[in-house]
Each structure stands twice: as C-alpha cells, then as structure tokens.
Amino acid sequence: MKEVLRFAASRGIGDFRLIAVEQISIEDQLRDLCENPRCPSFASSINCPPYEMTPAQFRNHVQAFSQVLAFKFDFPVEAMREEGRNQAGRLLHETTAAIEHKAKAQGFERACGYSSGGCKNTLCFEHDECAALAEDGQCRHPDLARPSLSGMGVNWHKLSKTLGWSMIKNEAGEANPDAETVMMAGLVFLA
C-alpha cells in the first residue's frame, strides 16, 4: 500500500485519501440526471450511460472491495475552457489508469480505476464517434479510458464534503462565482 500511495503522491495530484468503500454513496437518481437534463456525454461512449454499469450493478460490484484510493486535481477555472478541459480530462484518465496499473503491480490484482466525466470528449474528441460503440468495435485507448463515476451514481458532493474537498457547483448544480478552481477526481478500488 505504501508504494501505491507514494506513486499517487508522485503524480502531481492535489490530494488523495485512502477511504472505506462504505464512504461512497451510489444513488440511482444521480444516474438519471445524465439523461434528463441530458449531459453532452450521455451515450457518447461505452464509459457513460446507458452503456456503463447502472448504479445497482456498481453497488454490487464494489462489495468485493474494502479500500479505495480517492484522489483529485484542482484546475484553475481559466484553464478549463474548451481544449484545456479536454486536456484536464485526459490527465485524469491517465492518472486513474496509472494508479490502477501500479496497484496491480503491487499485488492488488483486482484493482479497478474509475474516472469523472466521459472519455469521448477527452480521449477521442477529434473523432466523430466512440470506436467501441461501432459494431465489433474496440476502444482506441483501452489502457487509459475508464468509466465515469457520476454516470454510475456516485455522489461526489457527499464524498467531497466528507473529505473536505470543494466543488465548483453545489448540489443544485449552481456554480460558485467566486471559485478559483475546478475539482476533477477519480477512485481506484483496491483488492
């Protein structure tokens, strides 16, 4: 575990914590928000609804784990416009995958990393479609692309409050006009 934490610390992330699976709230109604009001990432790749795990499936899946490495980046608001947002999303997917690979190498053979936001607008923004959604298609970035936690119903507001992390939007979806940073976070489940 020490090696995994040391590796996470070396990735330039804003903060990371080792938490219990029970601290993560997975809620059906949050997945519904992907569809109504419709998120631009909805149905854009296999890693967003309706193609990724449902909240019920994800709740069942995480029962096989006890510990989770939660980590976040805080990007300056001005860096999160258009291309900058894509680059930030790519960094998040890369970091999630890198921590997952490190955990596996350190003996957490079933480690699973999950990211925030969809991979279509970050890893495949220059393509018209998700290659994995094409018939018999394969993901262009299987080593990097990870499913979206929000799309599986993870309540980031609850978790952020528990961890003392601040989000730019409140639970009603209103942005804080005074916020200077935008948080993007991931979870790596360890077992």
Long-range contact set of residues 155-159: C-beta below 8 Å, sequence gap at least 24: 155/24, 155/25, 155/26, 155/27, 155/30, 156/116, 156/185, 158/25, 159/23, 159/24, 159/25, 159/70
Of the two residues 34 and 46, which places its CB atom closer to ligand SF4 in the complex? 46
Of the two residues 124 and 159, which places its CB atom closer to ligand SF4 in the complex? 124
Which residue(s) pair with 182 in the sheet? 75
- Report, in Å, the least distance between residue 40 CB and ligand SF4: 13
- Report, in Å, the least distance between residue 48 CB and ligand SF4: 9
Of the two residues 47 and 150, which places its CB atom closer to ligand SF4 in the complex? 47
Residues that bind ligand SF4 (CB under 6 A): 45-47, 119-120, 123-124, 130-132, 139-141, 145
- Report, in Å, the least distance between residue 31 CB and ligand SF4: 18
Tokens read off for 121: 């607008």
Q: How far is 165 from 181, CA to CA, in rounded Å?
A: 11
Helix and strand tally (H, E) in the chain?
6, 4
Q: How far is 34 from 82, CA to CA, in rounded Å?
A: 20
- Report, in Å, the least distance between residue 144 CB and ligand SF4: 7
Of the two residues 4 and 46, which places its CB atom closer to ligand SF4 in the complex? 46
- Report, in Å, the least distance between residue 25 CB and ligand SF4: 26
